[in-house]
Structure 1
Amino acid sequence: PAIPLNQVRRRNPNFGSIRFKVSDSNSFYNSLQLNVQTRLGRGLTGSLSYTFSKSIDDGSSSLGRNEFANGQARSQDPFNLTQSRGLSDFDVRHRLSANFSYELPFGPGRKFLSEATGVARLLVEGWQLNGILSAESGLPLSPIFTFDQDRDGSIDNEQRPNLAPGVTRIPTHLSNTQLFDPTVFRIPNVGTRGNLGRNIIEGPGLVTFDPSITKSFYLNSDGTRSIQFRTEIFNAFNHPNFAIPEVGNLTVFTNVDSAGKGILNPTAGQITKTSTSSRQIQFSLRLVF
Structure 2
Amino acid sequence: MYSCNSGISAQAANETTSLAYLDVPGYSGETAANECFPACATLNGQTTGYAFWSPQYASLDSWSSIGNSAYNSGQLSLRHHSGGLSFDLNYTYSKSTDIGSNAERVSVFEGLGFSSQIINAWSPNQLRGPSDFDTTHAINANWVYELPLGKGKRFGGGMSKLADAVIGGWQISGLWRWSTGYPFSVYPFYSWPTNWDLESNAILVGKKPKTGQFIVAQAGGGTGPNVFQNPGITNSSDPNAAVNQFRDAYPGESGQRNELRGPGSFNIDMGLSKTWEINESQNLKLSWEVFNVTNSVQFDAGNIQNVNNYTDSPSSFGNFINTLFKPRVMQLGARYTF
Residue 218 in structure 1 maps to residue 261 in structure 2: no
Give, in whole Å, the separation in 1 of the partners of 2:109 and 2:180: 19
Look up the equivalent residue of 2:64 and give its one-letter code. V
Counterpart in the other structure of 1:184: 244
Residue 236 in structure 1 maps to residue 279 in structure 2: no
> Cα RMSD (Å) of the superposition?
2.9
Look up the equivalent residue of 1:170 and give its one-letter code. P
Deviations 1:132-167 (A, max 9, x none): 1122222211111253452x461x222122334xx2
Give, in whole Å, the separation in 2 of the partners of 1:109 and 1:73: 57
Please list, as runs of the form range in 1=range in 2, the aligned pairs for 1:58-207 lying within 5 A after superposition.
Answer: 58-60=99-101, 66=108, 69-70=111-112, 72=115, 74-148=117-191, 150=193, 152=194, 154=196, 156-164=197-205, 167-173=206-212, 175=214, 177-180=225-228, 181=231, 182-188=242-248, 191=251, 193=253, 197-207=256-266
Equivalent of residue 316 in structure 2, options 244, 267, 282 = 267
Equivalent of residue 42 in structure 1, options 83, 106, 109 = 83
Deviations 1:208-259 (A, max 9, x none): 1111111111101x4x421111111111111112122662545424xxxxxx
Describe the shift of the 1:60–1:67 C-alpha distance in structure 2 as closer, same or farther (beyond 3 A): farther
SS at match of 2:66: coil
Residue 20 in structure 1 maps to residue 80 in structure 2: no
Deviations 1:29-84 (A, max 9, x none): 11112222211x221111122222111111226xx961884573633322112211
1:231 touches 1:283 (CA, 8 Å); kept in 2?
A: yes
Structure 2 length normalisation: TM-score? 0.70
Describe the shift of the 1:199–1:118 C-alpha distance in structure 2 as closer, same or farther (beyond 3 A): same
- Identity between Structure 1 and Structure 2 (%): 26
Look up the equivalent residue of 1:124 and give its one-letter code. I
2:101 touches 2:131 (CA, 8 Å); kept in 1?
A: yes
Structure 1 length normalisation: TM-score? 0.80
Gaps of 5+ in 1: 254-262
SS at match of 1:219: strand
Give, in whole Å, the separation in 2 of the partners of 1:7 and 1:197: 24
Describe the shift of the 1:44–1:216 C-alpha distance in structure 2 as closer, same or farther (beyond 3 A): same
Give, in whole Å, the separation in 1 of the partners of 2:212 and 2:183: 13
Shift of 1:170: 2.0
Shift of 1:102: 1.2
Give, in whole Å, the separation in 2 of the partners of 1:278 and 1:31: 31
* More strand, by proportion: 2
Give, in whole Å, the separation in 1 of the partners of 2:208 and 2:246: 14
2:171 touches 2:274 (CA, 8 Å); kept in 1?
A: yes
SS at match of 1:25: strand
Deviations 1:192-214 (A, max 9, x none): 647x5210111232211111111
Mean alpha-carbon deviation: is it higher for 137-146 or for 81-90?
Answer: 137-146
2:273 touches 2:288 (CA, 8 Å); kept in 1?
A: yes
Deviations 1:176-196 (A, max 9, x none): 5211334233444864647x5
Give, in whole Å, the separation in 2 of the partners of 1:85 and 1:250: 23
Describe the shift of the 1:215–1:33 C-alpha distance in structure 2 as closer, same or farther (beyond 3 A): same
1:245 touches 1:271 (CA, 8 Å); kept in 2?
A: no
Counterpart in the other structure of 1:252: 310
